[in-house]
Structure 1
């Protein structure tokens, strides 16, 4: 660096004479060689200057690392990497790096000086022409191909990193965040580097990248260069992020600039969400851009010639304006037309508003019979227009464009009906995605016949859409105005989610015209929604019968509907798969197939089917919702909450109404509830209740009230929970909603379970199971079987519990459903515990614990931790049990799970009492009592009263649970507190425990029997009881109170004068005490010894000692 006095006082300055935060002024000399002339640009890592190399007498560009970066080892390393990587890439369209230098602490590099400007600066003036964009894109793709050949990924391609020279040639620069695909030391999956606006989906998600990420970035740049905008939209950050993270770009054909077909296909391939669907090689992209330019020149000459000759047909014009189809390769298919049909406006005395809706639906159904076309479901179109409050009587080109954008369609069919009581004239228009009309047709009909003659109208559209007429046109509509009017009214009710109100008017429609197939089909769905299964089957059979001898899409739909209603799920699946195969562009068929697979528990296959829909139609709210729903059910609520349901909400915020938003918010509540985020879940549920109430969505309102009730149960507000459930039950009963009733019976069962009334809970669960079986809901059946199993477990009916739990476990494992498996394993773990099968209990619970942790489900994790602690307590691993209970309580501490905190406080208090830590146990009992004041769980209240010695109150609560186990626990506690009771009472309790099959209680009863026999002087009887008890069942490891049998054994031997046997028993007892006290603090050990000393009335202080 020059320190010549003349240069600092003249026109030169050295770097050290420039403040660290300043731009270098003209005249500054770097490393004694490079004289700064001007600033070219400023980047994230440094400033680029135009400079003169005084040694070689040439103009160069100098990139100087920012001062704060220069002090960073990471920044220096990134700077060095840039030059090393850039030097590997040699190509005319890559800016050549000369050298790297250092001036003091400052790092810089020198490179070719490209005279011109950045693409970013050029785009500020406006979009490029197609020829300019294609030329620029080919230059950049060539540079990327050269980099990729050297296994180098740029990773930060953007307009600011593309330089345009004076001739218009593009040069790629700035490899500052590039990396070698052969090296992994500098970046790994999970790190995000690069400029956010041009990142590929995999970069946004922090996943590993390769050259296809650069191709995605180039696709974005080409789109921006051609249209003046990036292909993303959204008013909120969450909408934009959702699109960024998934790569769900707006189709370039729907942006404001009309682009040729070859360019649209290039853009779509570059911007494919899945890297596997993009160009695998940038060289192929170079070829397609070059061929596209040549093809465009040929096409332009041909089009002009044809226009001059006056032979451009409407179909050819439409094909050019909507989806130009100049082939890039011989095998690439022509893009599918995606069409929406809007309700027609009506004018004149002889028409009515219902005619416009019904005719639109009839036209849409006819068009949908052509497999090459993709029709947006007419019901979805009506819902969107209703939510946007768009009036078909006065719809503008701007509103048509808005609908096209929201529905992501390439064409919109709309029009008007006008006439008098005798004649009706129908005009149809086909508009492109920009709202510009590209085709028009006109027909006249008798006033009563336009809907029946919909196929005739549709035929004129097939030619405009360059599609052949379908081979099949089943008759599904009515020619009777009265029937169509009733049908339209029914449709209005269905749009509001009110199936019950829709039923009578749809019945009127089919009574007026018994041949009205679509009305029969809608009626079958309404009956099914209302829980009238037999009526639904009959209506579906009516629809199917009237399609006998016909073929086509509607016939397959009717077959699938009937099969599903009668519970023939495999037949329904086969039919829907045939429908999808014959009509690959029928997105509603794909959604129905995905939903069916999900309801059958085939969650992976359901996800594949539904994601295929969202890949084609990123605004399909039902598909996103179902993806979220099945993610939750299959044990991945995090994926639902953070991905699928966020997208569903984004779509609903744009195109939906209160009903759709309420449905998604309700599902978000469920997801967050499973994640243990109860406050957030409650907020979602309450918002869903308000929206569904506003929308008049009675069925949805009942579901959200039921979910809210569940949270109220968890927090111990049982009265509020019951009020919510009762309100939901009234709604579902009024609607005749079988599925809703089944769900509510489940919630009622859970409420009674939470209250500790297991007999009533069992009754509710069994009713839910009956309804789910009738509906063929396999997953719900398995979940109900687990609920029934748990109720039987709590009632002490272990054989029944085992049958239902194992049925549920088999289903969940066959369906690879970890969440369902986790819940059932908890039930089985507690069943094994009750039977004294410690090792089996531990295996089940450890598997459940692993699943709960992997799935991020803290409630389940806490429950399993507590169950494992209980096993440890029964086994006599006391330190482990104490730690487990406290771990469970720590997990629940911030989650307001009153019942859970009370449960583990009581269990911990019981263990502390057993240890002799009475004062500490009282603290936990006081906490539990304060929590239980919010709402009475009979089992927990019985437990609390039992530990407090209030045996009458404990007995009352235990009786109200309906559980023989709870009642036996109270009886054992009462007898334990009164050691002078007769041996007959103890013997009776032993028989009760044996009948129940609860081994820990059976052993506890035997200790009391042996003690009472010993105290009564019945030494032989006491010895028999002790020997039988110490002969543990196969697989039973030591029990926590085995030492009591050994103590009694020692005392009996002493009474008989058998000192050898007494000493043997004493040693065994001491070994057992050593085991029990392992890991306990000295204070806990001393407390246990003191408690053990007082267990038998006679003194035994010399026999029990702390280790």
Structure 2
């Protein structure tokens, strides 16, 4: 860079003097070059002026060290450092800094002149979502450029962000910026300083992200509510991002890349029956958990982290003794022993050699976050081989104990008793020790318990737990065995009570908290389960499976974005540090499922592809089958049917080689989806039924309910509504018994939809009432229920209520970032606008939907096309729908959608009697689905059809379309009924609806 000084400049910058204690005046020159124009801003340490560069003949800005600021070598070097840092950055959203000057009178530097206001000023006025999100994206990109160049800003806040006259943002003031190598700062901006920076006085990139989260929070607060409808990024997703960026723990803050990914638009999904798709995704999640979940957490195999954390490593000769020492120490409330098998896996995977060097032990302690390490190895004394126990403390590896034990005349239980006794003497004071001595007979029982676990024999495990309950063992082991027996007997309430008692005695035991979380999950108490996993992870944050389980619970409860950014990211980091292919494959697959749930299909496909790299056919065939099925699901949704087919073929080969009927069932299920996405509903039904048959023979009730739901849904699409209802009620009974609320609520929505279509309004409303009063309803289920409530209200002429319900569905979809639900809601809102002759509202709706059209599936696209044609008809009165009808007739569609569109165009259009639309409508005509049946009769200009229509209308006195349908009839009584229907309809409309419909009625 250029470091410009005057020739007479003193050699020691500390001796620099400034001539004036006053502000500079217009016309005053600095360094015989920069002519002051005016003061732009003034702070405690510096002032900024607009100036004219007489050499380059252009405007610039000058930042001048304040006259009353301490003038030392340190302060001058700080400014010089600021310039050096800022000149490294060339980014459109970072102010350009030029040259540094130190003269006898002044210390300053020059930079580009920015015309505008600080973001702090701008935030005082209402802003649009589109503007704020654009600014935030620019800030993320600018900060990313800083960090990539090894530069930390250190003072991100609205006052240091300028909004230019061109409405762009620029980051300024690197006065306390620093390189990422080393720096200390004593400058803080209240409210924007991360906790760890406030403690250490060391700026970090994570600290910059914390401050960025604060800025995002303020941007969101300034956004006007109505402007959210103009952007595809959802408010709740950004609120969650802002909160995540302000996490107390720096490692839990999302990366800047994650911030940019959150700002990307999300893709919508299918139109027909969103609840059914929710069930499809629930099935994917269920299979993912069924296939890939880690072993059940229990207090003897999960690591913990109370006051003192101990890791035990042994060479291959003393594995049994290490395990027995670990089991003995389980009874100590203030000592936490990490499961030795966990230590052993880390040692093997990471090539650590704890026996050989202090550095290797320190490495192991750092990875496991252990306060102490116990290393068991061989030591030869003379000709005798002895057990050497080395106990060390970290950080700094100080030796606490180095003891040898003769092994030739002692059992493993005896040796373990001696070692554990010494370890307790060193690590626990007399007050903290449980004073419990584990007998060799008790150790023998515990050794047999471990053997039963390793054999994966439920009967042997049950018998061993019973023997421990009946034996003379410590209170801890009795309670633990009782809790596990209760779990095996599925007496989860009893298990919860026992574990609560254990937690009172051992409040710092992370493994017991995790076990309690598992039981809460089995009871369906998801919030309680989350609380206990959070407690367990606060005690022992190095347990990736617990992070995974917490993420699973959050995803089930609709907090998918947060789970992706926080818990799953933590799990992936830890598995990566441990170089665990199995763990990384598990979490990457979970990332895919999370993005699938968010309808972010390209991201889901990418994660499933990455998971397949870890889940090899040789090492993890079952896991690979799971991910291949998930990959096929997304590929089918994205209409890459060849890729989906190839994935399922590979999965089928693996499943047959494994002789795994449940894996085959999963693949058959995916084959069903593949055919369904292509409109091959009969073929889809064949595959779904095969999956159901296999699961009824060998699957759990949960997966059975998923297959039953799939069969119900495909029968619904095929128009066999009675059979669909039978299957859905069967699935409903299963999930009710399982207390599986998310699936229960989805099926209730599906049934309410079907019953409403059949005119069984009271039953449908009863189901929705149960949903709306459920304490544990998820946002997705609430949104779907509001869509169906809108449909029911609309069908019964309650138009104002219908509009309120769909508005609420759209609000929820926006809030949770569910583009799939948003698409469904907007399509239905557009249909309401069409039927009520709200032409401008219909036009606005279609314009918003057009922004989502690239991700429409085939039936969404058809629905959107139909509504576009209806808008054309409203605007031009051109009722030629031949092209649309031919499109519908040429392909396979769900019967519900096909019947709706064909009856609508037949009613409004002018088709010859020989057109094939009439033959197809004869085939589709179904009195059960009354809406399309009534319109079908009205479309036929025959006396018989009119007579039938008049008779049918009497069954539905509150139907919204009665005014239009009675006007088709020629009888005098029909005219009277039409007038009564109109008055009834107008009475239940809001003002905007009433005004539009009255204009139509008067034509």
TM-score by length of 1: 0.56
User: What residue is the counterpart of 1:374 in the other structure?
Assistant: 336
Cα contact 1:906–1:944 (8 A) shared by 2: yes
User: What residue is the counterpart of 1:1022 in the other structure?
Assistant: 974
Residue 889 of structure 1 deviates from its aligned partner by 4.2
* Separation in structure 1 between the aligned mates of residue 72 and residue 365 of structure 2, nearest angstrom: 43
Residue 777 of structure 1 deviates from its aligned partner by 3.5
Relative to structure 1, the CA distance from residue 575 to residue 985 in structure 2 (aligned partners, 3 Å threshold; closer, same or farther) is same
Counterpart among 587, 596, 610 of residue 664 in structure 1: 587
* Separation in structure 2 between the aligned mates of residue 396 and residue 37 of structure 1, nearest angstrom: 52
User: What residue is the counterpart of 2:452 in the other structure?
Assistant: 487
User: What residue is the counterpart of 2:326 in the other structure?
Assistant: 364
Relative to structure 1, the CA distance from residue 868 to residue 198 in structure 2 (aligned partners, 3 Å threshold; closer, same or farther) is farther
Residue 360 of structure 1 deviates from its aligned partner by 3.7
User: What residue is the counterpart of 1:582 in the other structure?
Assistant: 505
* Separation in structure 2 between the aligned mates of residue 774 and residue 52 of structure 1, nearest angstrom: 83
Secondary structure of residue in 2 paired with 1:683: helix
Cα contact 2:2–2:99 (8 A) shared by 1: no
Residue 372 of structure 1 deviates from its aligned partner by 0.9
Counterpart among 885, 903, 919 of residue 863 in structure 2: 903
* Separation in structure 2 between the aligned mates of residue 616 and residue 382 of structure 1, nearest angstrom: 21
Cα contact 1:872–1:881 (8 A) shared by 2: yes
Deviates more, 1:606-615 or 1:407-416: 606-615
Counting only pairs closer than 5 Å after superposition, residues 531-610 of structure 1 correspond to structure 2 as 542=466, 545-546=469-470, 551-552=475-476, 555-556=479-480, 558-559=482-483, 562=486, 566=490, 568-569=492-493, 573=496, 575-594=498-517, 609-610=532-533
Secondary structure of residue in 2 paired with 1:339: strand
Counting only pairs closer than 5 Å after superposition, residues 70-469 of structure 1 correspond to structure 2 as 80=46, 194-195=177-178, 197=180, 208-210=191-193, 214-218=197-201, 248=249, 336-342=307-313, 344-346=315-317, 356=319, 359-377=321-339, 380-381=342-343, 384=346, 388=349, 400-415=361-376, 427-432=388-393, 438-442=400-404, 450=412, 454=416, 457-466=419-428, 468-469=432-433
* Separation in structure 2 between the aligned mates of residue 1072 and residue 1008 of structure 1, nearest angstrom: 18
User: What residue is the counterpart of 1:804 in the other structure?
Assistant: 767
Larger radius of gyration: 1
Q: CA-atom RMSD, angstroms?
A: 5.8
Residue 427 of structure 1 deviates from its aligned partner by 4.8
* Separation in structure 2 between the aligned mates of residue 199 and residue 741 of structure 1, nearest angstrom: 59
* Separation in structure 1 between the aligned mates of residue 78 and residue 979 of structure 2, nearest angstrom: 92
User: What residue is the counterpart of 1:844 in the other structure?
Assistant: 805
* Separation in structure 2 between the aligned mates of residue 974 and residue 371 of structure 1, nearest angstrom: 78
Cα contact 1:415–1:427 (8 A) shared by 2: yes
* Separation in structure 2 between the aligned mates of residue 596 and residue 86 of structure 1, nearest angstrom: 64
Counterpart among 968, 971, 980 of residue 1011 in structure 1: 968
**Is it true that 1:964 corresponds to 2:888 in the alignment?**
no
Residue 786 of structure 1 deviates from its aligned partner by 3.4
Relative to structure 1, the CA distance from residue 483 to residue 890 in structure 2 (aligned partners, 3 Å threshold; closer, same or farther) is same
Residue 648 of structure 1 deviates from its aligned partner by 2.2
Relative to structure 1, the CA distance from residue 248 to residue 835 in structure 2 (aligned partners, 3 Å threshold; closer, same or farther) is same
* Separation in structure 2 between the aligned mates of residue 377 and residue 216 of structure 1, nearest angstrom: 34
Secondary structure of residue in 2 paired with 1:374: strand
* Separation in structure 2 between the aligned mates of residue 863 and residue 427 of structure 1, nearest angstrom: 68
Residue 35 of structure 1 deviates from its aligned partner by 0.6
Residue 663 of structure 1 deviates from its aligned partner by 2.8
Residue 701 of structure 1 deviates from its aligned partner by 4.7
**Is it true that 1:990 corresponds to 2:953 in the alignment?**
yes
Structure with the bigger RCO (C-alpha within 8 Å, sep 6+) is 2
Cα contact 1:601–1:779 (8 A) shared by 2: no
Secondary structure of residue in 2 paired with 1:341: strand
Cα contact 2:752–2:763 (8 A) shared by 1: yes
Relative to structure 1, the CA distance from residue 574 to residue 196 in structure 2 (aligned partners, 3 Å threshold; closer, same or farther) is farther
Counterpart among 18, 24, 27 of residue 4 in structure 2: 24
Unaligned runs of 5+ in 1: 1-20, 39-48, 57-63, 114-154, 159-173, 222-240, 252-333, 348-355, 491-501, 518-541, 1043-1070, 1078-1102
**Is it true that 1:709 corresponds to 2:633 in the alignment?**
yes
* Separation in structure 1 between the aligned mates of residue 15 and residue 73 of structure 2, nearest angstrom: 21
Relative to structure 1, the CA distance from residue 417 to residue 668 in structure 2 (aligned partners, 3 Å threshold; closer, same or farther) is same
Secondary structure of residue in 2 paired with 1:632: helix
Cα contact 1:905–1:928 (8 A) shared by 2: no
| 1:875-931 CA distance string (max 9 Å, x none) | 33233134324423432x23243333333333444565577755785666677779x
Residue 586 of structure 1 deviates from its aligned partner by 1.7
**Is it true that 1:1036 corresponds to 2:988 in the alignment?**
yes
Residue 371 of structure 1 deviates from its aligned partner by 1.3
User: What residue is the counterpart of 1:773 in the other structure?
Assistant: 736
| 1:472-515 CA distance string (max 9 Å, x none) | 6789988489967963643xxxxxxxxxxx3xx443566xxx3x
Relative to structure 1, the CA distance from residue 993 to residue 724 in structure 2 (aligned partners, 3 Å threshold; closer, same or farther) is same
Counting only pairs closer than 5 Å after superposition, residues 613-762 of structure 1 correspond to structure 2 as 613-655=536-578, 657-688=580-611, 691-692=614-615, 694=617, 696=620, 698=622, 701-702=625-626, 705=629, 708-709=632-633, 712=636, 718-720=673-675, 736-746=699-709, 759=722, 762=725
Cα contact 2:16–2:105 (8 A) shared by 1: no
User: What residue is the counterpart of 1:785 in the other structure?
Assistant: 748
User: What residue is the counterpart of 2:133 in the other structure?
Assistant: none
Unaligned runs of 5+ in 2: 21-29, 49-62, 81-97, 107-142, 164-168, 205-241, 253-304, 642-672, 677-683, 907-916
User: What residue is the counterpart of 2:920 in the other structure?
Assistant: 953
Residue 969 of structure 1 deviates from its aligned partner by 0.5
* Separation in structure 1 between the aligned mates of residue 524 and residue 345 of structure 2, nearest angstrom: 29
Residue 555 of structure 1 deviates from its aligned partner by 1.4
User: What residue is the counterpart of 2:9 in the other structure?
Assistant: 35
Relative to structure 1, the CA distance from residue 982 to residue 732 in structure 2 (aligned partners, 3 Å threshold; closer, same or farther) is closer
User: What residue is the counterpart of 1:825 in the other structure?
Assistant: 786
* Separation in structure 1 between the aligned mates of residue 436 and residue 412 of structure 2, nearest angstrom: 19
Work out the number of aligned pairs and report it.
Answer: 762
User: What residue is the counterpart of 2:131 in the other structure?
Assistant: none
| 1:382-421 CA distance string (max 9 Å, x none) | 66567x27699999766654443332222233425899xx
Relative to structure 1, the CA distance from residue 80 to residue 477 in structure 2 (aligned partners, 3 Å threshold; closer, same or farther) is same
**Is it true that 1:881 corresponds to 2:881 in the alignment?**
no
TM-score by length of 2: 0.62
Relative to structure 1, the CA distance from residue 819 to residue 732 in structure 2 (aligned partners, 3 Å threshold; closer, same or farther) is same
Counting only pairs closer than 5 Å after superposition, residues 493-532 of structure 1 correspond to structure 2 as 502=456, 505-508=457-460, 514=463, 516-517=464-465
Cα contact 1:560–1:572 (8 A) shared by 2: yes
Relative to structure 1, the CA distance from residue 783 to residue 688 in structure 2 (aligned partners, 3 Å threshold; closer, same or farther) is farther
**Is it true that 1:834 corresponds to 2:815 in the alignment?**
no
Relative to structure 1, the CA distance from residue 683 to residue 899 in structure 2 (aligned partners, 3 Å threshold; closer, same or farther) is farther
* Separation in structure 2 between the aligned mates of residue 974 and residue 250 of structure 1, nearest angstrom: 66
Residue 86 of structure 1 deviates from its aligned partner by 8.4
Secondary structure of residue in 1 paired with 2:773: helix
| 1:651-710 CA distance string (max 9 Å, x none) | 222226333223322332233234332111133235446645645374795487368537
Cα contact 1:668–1:681 (8 A) shared by 2: yes
| 1:731-778 CA distance string (max 9 Å, x none) | 867874444444555555566666666555545544444443333444
